[in-house]
Amino acid sequence: MNIKEEIKKYAQELIDLRRDFHQHPELGFQEFRTSEVIEKYLLDCGIEVMKIATTGVVGLLKGSQEGATVILRADMDALLVSEENDLSYKSLYEGKMHACGHDGHVAMLLVAAKILAKHKEKIKGNIKFVFQPNEEEAGARIMIDEGVMENPKVDAALGIHLWTPLETGKIGISEGPIMGAHKNFKLRIIGKGGHTSAPQYSIDPILTAASIIQNVQMIQTREINALNPTVIMFGKINGGTAANIIPEAIDLEGTIRHLYEGNDTSEEKPYARFERIVKSICEAHQAHYELQFIPSNSVLINHPQLTSMVRQEAEKVVNDPQKDIVPYVCMAGEDFSEFSLEVPSTFIFVGTGNDKKGSNYPHHHARFNIDEDSLAIGVELHIRSVLAYLNKM
């Protein structure tokens, strides 16, 4: 099979699929139209289909010979973002947008599935095409709990993310920890409300919150080894009703991310340190607090041997392996990490950044877009990687 020529046959179909999904973004566990399109496409390719995790779809392609089973995964969910792009295929739903590339992920995996199904006589083993709902809030674990790793039992998992921080044509691959563990936090500071003309009779939760925001930053710069990256960020602050009223309470939300295994079981203990500072500052201000940590995903760790194999296949995809294959690690969270906790896994980044095409905005931005030339690269990587793995097992 000439993989590049096979992909060229479906070049327009690949783009059309991506644009259709982009026009019809659906939030996590609400991907009903998306899953219907996926199910029909897979069935038309002669691939067995199973529904799972509310809107998730799993296609099973059995090869001509017995062998291992490997997952190829694509996430489906969109975001609560109002699109600001002026495109013919702009989101049709106000306040919802594919601002993370998941529309491209689904399109790439569908076309890869069609090509692989055409050549299943060359496949030794089984491929599970996993279309996952709700990646933004850890839908992978629900799929695992509902049995996606069984019948047949999965031996390895492979995933791809389109990535605007990398230029189109480049592929980011690294072994070991590559994406951060991530928990959200919700913090309520409870003081004593009053009038701003007489602050001595109140306990100001805003002043308390300001002190907390500043002081927790010393955790990542003074308490944790700089070789163990940790990032604490506040993304939301809400409190108060009027300029002359000291509020009773103020609510803060944010994230704690780190690029090492373990949460407070690790030596770094970022969450315990965070609460220690919150508690001590609240005591100093005579305030109270309520703190909740909301798990999102674990650190994503690429299996060394599997990643080495994928890198060898990536060299066949790019123009210049010495320049176009680069090491890449970031602090963003990705719930593909749940698969990596179960079986040897590898997750790679396909560059889709192109200043001239306007695909240089960060993920989750209202003007996020991808360079559609990168879609064929993703399809080729899916096909080469899965065939290489199954043929070596």
Question: Residues annotated in the binding site, as ranges?
Answer: 100, 102, 136, 161, 364
Distance between CA 52 and CA 139 in Å, rounded?
A: 11
DSSP run (H or E) holding 8 = helix 3-9
C-alpha dist (Å) from residue 291 to 14, 182, 269? 46, 16, 16
Helix, strand or coil, per DSSP, at residue 113: helix
**Which DSSP letter does residue 250 get?**
E
Helix, strand or coil, per DSSP, at residue 81: coil
Distance between CA 184 and CA 233 in Å, rounded?
A: 10
**Which DSSP letter does residue 26 get?**
-
Distance between CA 350 and CA 177 in Å, rounded?
A: 17
Question: Residues annotated in the binding site for Mn(2+), as ranges?
Answer: 100, 102, 136, 161, 364
- Which of 273-276's residues contact partners 24+ apart within 8 Å by CB, and which partners? 273/219, 273/223, 273/224, 274/185, 274/216, 274/219, 274/232
C-alpha 307, offset from chain centre: 18
**Which DSSP letter does residue 272 get?**
H
Contact (CB, 8 A) for 32 and 26: yes
Distance between CA 372 and CA 158 in Å, rounded?
A: 21
Q: What residue has token string 């890198």?
A: 311
- Which among 268, 335, 326, 273 is positioned nearest to 298, based on CA atoms? 335
SS3 content of the chain, % helix, strand, coil (to 5): 35, 30, 35
How many degrees, rounded to 5, is the angle at CA 335 between CA 233 and CA 322? 90
Helix, strand or coil, per DSSP, at residue 313: helix
Q: What residue has token string 């990705």?
A: 334
